[in-house]
Structure 1
Amino acid sequence: MADMPVFMIDAIRVLSGQTVSPAPVWLMRQAGRYLPEYRALRAEKGSFLGLAYDPEAAAEITLQPIRRFGFDVAILFSDILIVPHAMGQDLTFTEGEGPRLKPPLEAARLEELTPARQHYAPIWETVRRVRAQLAPEKALFGFAGSPYTVATYMVAGEGSKEQAAARLMAYADPGRFEELIRAISADTLEYLSGQVAAGADALMLFDSWSGSLSVSEFERWVIAPTAWLVAELRARHPATPIIGFPRGAGSKAPAYARETQVSALALDEAADLEFVVANTPDTLPLQGNLDPMALKAGGAALEAGLARIREAMAGRPHILNLGHGIDRFTPISHVERLLELHRR
């Protein structure tokens, strides 16, 4: 964690187990396409990947929602696929089609890749630039994809709804899949450790596709590698909180929190908030789970969603957030209304 007055940073206080009222707030994908200032910079600079690897532009994008809304947390503008790019896969983003990684590892071998770890350096420089410009009472969160979710992209070469290629490899050739998970975990450790050294105050692990796994596979490919990564990060950076986001975990979320020993548990919009609250220690910080569509709809849907979360989280360490990324067509006025309702 950055060398700064941590006691001033409400989000870090919450991640350390304290209750803060009103709860700190930030939104997943708060730096991005719903903001006109982001779209203007994207039009000027070009590709998404070009922006991510341009520390000046990436720092500006990270700070845009802080300037506009005064969120309590700046989340690094980057992508979870930086790790496979640094591990040697070619990475491209095609408008309307999403990311592509070549060669897909369902057809190629991990040892055939030539590592390109120089890709981490501009991300670390972005962190340094943001922390230098960010007000001391605001937290800066770094992040990475969790090993299983990153593996699903590396195996298929693209995103997929069912993650069939990775799941098939995990069943048919578990030794090969475990080798891949271990390699991703090792690279992710160095990548995240570099973010902390550059000034990140906390880290978040995104396991966006964990919900596609059975209970036993979830234990093996989500919980076990995440627990290893958390332990290794904590050994290097004991003061840095780590948020785990096992999207789609459902009833497995309490076990994930308990067995991985993450500092806080982030919840998607489908999570049963009452179940999670009842089955986790009341000292465990929770983040989320406002439905992005309730924010997009605004009005009564937004007010009811916020009220439900605030009631369930009363007296508990909590960071207000969405259950997934903000929709690109969300009206700016709805974000302003969320903050007005929450902070009044």
Structure 2
Amino acid sequence: MADEVLVNDRFLRALRREPVDTTPIWVMRQAGRYLPEYRETRGRAGSFMGLATNPERACEVTLQPLERFDLDAAILFSDILTIPDAMGLGLSFANGEGPRFARPVRSAADIERLAVPDMDGELRYVMDAVRLIRQELHGRVPLIGFSGSPWTLACYMVEGEGSRDFARVKALAWNEPALAHRLLDTVARSVAVYLIAQANAGAQALMIFDTWGGLLGPAPFREFSLRYMSQVVDALKADAASRDLPVILFSKGAMGQLEALADTGCTGLGIDWSIDIGEARRRVGDRVALQGNLDPAVLRASPEIVEREARAVLDSFGNHPGHVFNLGHGITPEVDPENVKVLVDTVHAHGRKIRQD
């Protein structure tokens, strides 16, 4: 695979801020419940975890959106909570509900028991899926591997389930910062090893989802989220398998921290829809590429509005290098797949027009 020639490499070139013929696009959660073929495969798998832990089925759903849409990247089908599950916390997904851990982390003894998981043991299914997806892509587009950020994983590990405010982990950070840092360091080392293993298995770009970084104020964000994402980026840049791969950070709700995020050494920043992408580009300059940032709810509007809003994002960024079009968060299950096709085709057509003007 090392000598494989990519048929379409505009996603990687855009992340390197090199010229491209048009703006590349992929969509967060592009393999998901809005696709009837995904729902059928998940039904056969019996559960979300049955789907995510089966490399053949994970490969199948990863490739499904590429059969429908002219996307410029594939992203590994998995879940951000694979690491804490491999740490023995007992992950499950109830029907109609979010994730839940049978054994959340609530004490110093719980934190002391945590260790970096074995990538060839508990997490081998993820690496097998990466290898299989790379094989089945045949160089069509690059494959993105990913992980949750240390802070986001800690949120679920301490709370034990999803939450609107994750008050337990925030209380831990305030009341026992040394203990919180011990937890976050273990998780950060695990994330780094996990992403390096994905790189070894064939991932061609890596993304860190800091879904809950925006819950923190500026100073706590730097101490408990940014610090550990920087630790992961440093580890990736120090390893032979991952040092040349682009790394994208996406910290939802933390757009006030763009400059600090750009200073981590990452290649690209995912941005949510709360900021104009042109303003974001002016703030970070030529330090990083930007990925984003259409509001996912736009995809529930008419095709004409989808076209209009996509063009607005592209026009705001302008004819500059370093833009990967994406949503400002994941696609939602109610979206009509035809609107996704409208989005992808509009981005490619208008991206070409911008470069010709």
Same fold per TM (> 0.5)? yes
Partner of 1:151: 154
Residue in structure 1 matching 2:137, options 134, 138, 155:
134
SS at match of 2:284: coil
Return 5+ residue gaps in structure 1 as ranges. none
AA at the equivalent of 2:277: L
Residue in structure 2 matching 1:305, options 300, 309, 315:
309
Structure 1 runs (4+) greater than 4 angstroms displaced: 113-116
Matched, 1:338 2:339: no
Partner of 1:284: 288
* 2-structure distance, mates of 1:13, 1:83: 30
SS at match of 1:269: coil
Contact 2:25/2:73 (<8 A) preserved: yes
**For the structure 1 residues 145 and 160, does the alpha-carbon distance in structure 2 shift closer, same or farther, using more than 3 Å as the test?**
same
Residues 67-88 of structure 1: CA deviation (Å, up to 9, x unaligned) = 1113110000000000101122
SS at match of 2:123: helix
Matched, 1:110 2:111: yes
SS at match of 1:279: helix
Residue in structure 2 matching 1:120, options 113, 123, 128:
123
Partner of 1:201: 204
The correspondence of residues 319-330 of structure 1 with structure 2, limited to 5 A, is 319-330=324-335
SS at match of 2:122: helix
1:274 shift after superposition: 3.1
Stretch moving more, 73-82 or 13-22? 13-22
Stretch moving more, 266-275 or 322-331? 266-275
Residue in structure 1 matching 2:274, options 266, 270, 276:
270
The correspondence of residues 163-312 of structure 1 with structure 2, limited to 5 A, is 163-236=166-239, 237-258=242-263, 260-282=264-286, 284-312=288-316
AA at the equivalent of 2:103: P
Residues 157-200 of structure 1: CA deviation (Å, up to 9, x unaligned) = 01111121111100000011000000001111111111000100
SS at match of 1:323: coil
AA at the equivalent of 1:147: P
1:115 shift after superposition: 6.9
* 1-structure distance, mates of 2:189, 2:39: 35
**For the structure 1 residues 200 and 115, does the alpha-carbon distance in structure 2 shift closer, same or farther, using more than 3 Å as the test?**
closer
Residues 40-63 of structure 1: CA deviation (Å, up to 9, x unaligned) = 111111110111110000011101
Stretch moving more, 317-326 or 295-304? 295-304
* 1-structure distance, mates of 2:163, 2:298: 25
Contact 1:290/1:306 (<8 A) preserved: yes
Give the TM-score normalised by structure 2: 0.92
* 2-structure distance, mates of 1:214, 1:34: 34
1:276 shift after superposition: 1.1
AA at the equivalent of 2:262: A
SS at match of 2:321: coil
CA RMSD of aligned residues (A): 1.7
* 1-structure distance, mates of 2:291, 2:255: 15
Stretch moving more, 86-95 or 55-64? 86-95
Stretch moving more, 313-322 or 195-204? 313-322
AA at the equivalent of 2:105: L
Partner of 1:23: 23
Partner of 2:96: 96
**For the structure 1 residues 255 and 80, does the alpha-carbon distance in structure 2 shift closer, same or farther, using more than 3 Å as the test?**
same
1:114 shift after superposition: 7.5
1:2 shift after superposition: 4.8
AA at the equivalent of 1:111: E
Stretch moving more, 185-194 or 311-320? 311-320
Return 5+ residue gaps in structure 2 as ranges. 350-357
**For the structure 1 residues 153 and 25, does the alpha-carbon distance in structure 2 shift closer, same or farther, using more than 3 Å as the test?**
same
Number of equivalences: 343
SS at match of 1:243: strand
Percent identical among aligned pairs is 39
Contact 1:11/1:319 (<8 A) preserved: yes
Stretch moving more, 157-166 or 175-184? 157-166
AA at the equivalent of 2:306: L
Partner of 2:352: none
AA at the equivalent of 1:181: L
SS at match of 1:119: coil
* 2-structure distance, mates of 1:25, 1:195: 22
The correspondence of residues 79-94 of structure 1 with structure 2, limited to 5 A, is 79-94=79-94
